[in-house]
Chains A and B, each alone.
Chain A
Amino acid sequence: MIEEVGTSPEGDLIINVGPQHPSTHGVLHLVITLNGETVKNCEPHLGYIHRSIEKMCESLSYRQFIYVTSRMDYLSSHINNQGCSLTVEKALQIEVPERGKVIRVLMAELTRMASHLLWWGALGMDVGAFTPFFHAFREREVINDIMEETCGARLTMNYIVPGGVMYDIHPNFQQKVKDFITLFKSKIDEYDTLVTGNIIFQQRMKGVGYISGEDALSYGCTGPVLRASGVKCDIRKIAPYDGYEKVQFEEIIETGCDSYARYLVRMKELKQSLSIIEQLLDNIPEGEFQAKTKAVLKLPKGEFYSRVETARGEFGVYIISEGGLTPYRIKFRSPGFSNLSALHHMTKGSKLGDLVATMGTLDLVIPDIDR
């Protein structure tokens, strides 16, 4: 392991990027070996935001541990909560009412859109464009307001609980989401005009950060990173949960394998999420939003696993229960960790500036990598 700044025995320059660097999206620390401006090796160092969430969950009950998972991948906190709730429901064989399921899917897709919007703005910053950030945050703010009204919080909602959702949707929810859809449809073309079609942006993205489908699979990449390499991996299609089998949407596959392909996958996913929301918004079934559960949840002895598709990829929750009030062991499979591990493969031999652009298209959230 390379520890210090200086020169390697071969005469290459070793520098640290991060942990406090604006382009690393949080406290990511990369030790980079440079030959001139060419990256020879790039080694991520983790542990700067480790909070031992998995260990912490062992002392929390099955209702309490869900709120902590909002703090992992904070941009798709709803979907993390959904994954945990699904595992608990699977173990206790709770059937979630249809209304609860639809509200969950609506919230998950709104979260995915908010996450992709933030990624789009931050990617613009990474490649040197400042304006996209404001455009993306303008629309994201509307989603945050919708979340605030129904869930009570903007980022760490803790809205999805075992058995359904915590509250029914706010009376204004449907109208506000409809307003958002009209607003977003008028704005999404602006994104393409401003960034996608831009020649400088395309030159920075095309042919950069190449990873083939087989390599991406062997590194364990999931989500848009793997789909941009031409591999089908959407959990919403492979193993549908919470009624995703009933909605019509396409799984976006690109075969470019580079940063531009990853960019296109996410931009097209925004439109797919919008179409899922449109399908469900007027068809929220009447009835209960939460199944009747016991006040104290006790999982039977055994091992339980379930997985969901977050904005970054596959998120898995693995619970080992000894039959008590708290889990014996919890393991989270976070998408960011595997996606980051492919970074050195993607950037070997590229320029330092391309490393930042590649990192931007991986959509890293550091608290998710470093639980």
Chain B
Amino acid sequence: MFLVDYIKTVYNGVTSLLKGMRMTGYYFTHHKEIITQQYPDVKQVLPERFRGEVVMTHDEKNEHRCTGCTACELACPNATIKIVTKFDITPDGKKKKALDTFVYHLELCTMCNLCIVACPTDAIKMAQSFEHSVYDRSLLTKVLNKPGSKLMEGVE
């Protein structure tokens, strides 16, 4: 009885190993199944929802949609966003709060998307860029509103 079990085990062992080797041989001879991506040479197109970094949209007249309401700053869990506001004088002589600088710390950002959801005017969005490595950490602190840009008309 012991001998029968022993031979059975050896037989099962050899067949299971051969089955596994057959699979390995299949992939060795079928190169179409290989799915390696040649990353730096061929860059994949990332989906539009991919969260790479926060950017502010500007139109061709260099106007943005940010009113400086600081909703994103309050929504951010780790103080990634700092908004500096100023007071503009409107043509009819009234003071109006406006965005001065939108400081964004990419090194603190965890891409949780809460600022984008919180924004009432769709001023900021996530960009698809992901190659963020730099030699100096200070380069990761960015100002999102372009120099000389102003608030788009009609955005409250």
Contact of B23 among A68, A148, A190 (CB under 8 A): A190
Contact of B50 among A152, A190, A198 (CB under 8 A): A152
Q: Which one of B9, B13, B113 has the greatest number of beta carbons of chain A within 10 Å?
A: B113
Q: Are A131 and B24 in contact (CB under 8 A)?
A: yes
- Across-interface contacts of B23 in A (CB, < 8 A): 190, 193-194
Does B35 sit within 8 A of A, measured CB to CB?
yes
Does A166 sit within 8 A of B, measured CB to CB?
yes
Does B129 sit within 8 A of A, measured CB to CB?
no
- Across-interface contacts of A67 in B (CB, < 8 A): 77, 110, 112, 114
Which stretch (B14-22, B91-99, B133-141, B142-150) binds chain A?
A: B14-22
Alpha-carbon distance A80/B79, docked complex (angstroms): 23
Q: Which one of B16, B50, B75, B76 has the greatest number of beta carbons of chain A within 10 Å?
A: B16
- Across-interface contacts of A141 in B (CB, < 8 A): 35
Q: Which one of B46, B76, B111 has the greatest number of beta carbons of chain A within 10 Å?
A: B111
- Across-interface contacts of A150 in B (CB, < 8 A): 49
Q: Which one of B20, B46, B126 has the greatest number of beta carbons of chain A within 10 Å?
A: B20
- Across-interface contacts of A149 in B (CB, < 8 A): 47, 49
Number of interface residues of A (CB under 8 A): 28
Chain A residue at minimal CB-CB distance from B24: A131
- Across-interface contacts of A138 in B (CB, < 8 A): 35
Q: Which one of A68, A131, A152, A197 has the greatest number of beta carbons of chain B within 10 Å?
A: A152
Chain B residue at minimal CB-CB distance from A149: B47
Does B12 sit within 8 A of A, measured CB to CB?
yes
**What is the interface residue range for chain B against chain A?**
20 to 34
Does B89 sit within 8 A of A, measured CB to CB?
no
Q: Which one of A131, A148, A158, A190 has the greatest number of beta carbons of chain B within 10 Å?
A: A158
- Across-interface contacts of B35 in A (CB, < 8 A): 138, 141
Contact of A153 among B9, B13, B51 (CB under 8 A): B51
Q: Are B47 and A199 in contact (CB under 8 A)?
A: no
Q: Are A64 and B20 in contact (CB under 8 A)?
A: no
Q: Are B47 and A148 in contact (CB under 8 A)?
A: yes
Alpha-carbon distance A198/B14, docked complex (angstroms): 9
Query: Which B residues contact A (CB, under 8 angstroms)?
Result: 9, 12-13, 16-17, 19-20, 23-24, 35, 46-47, 49-51, 75-77, 110-114, 117, 126
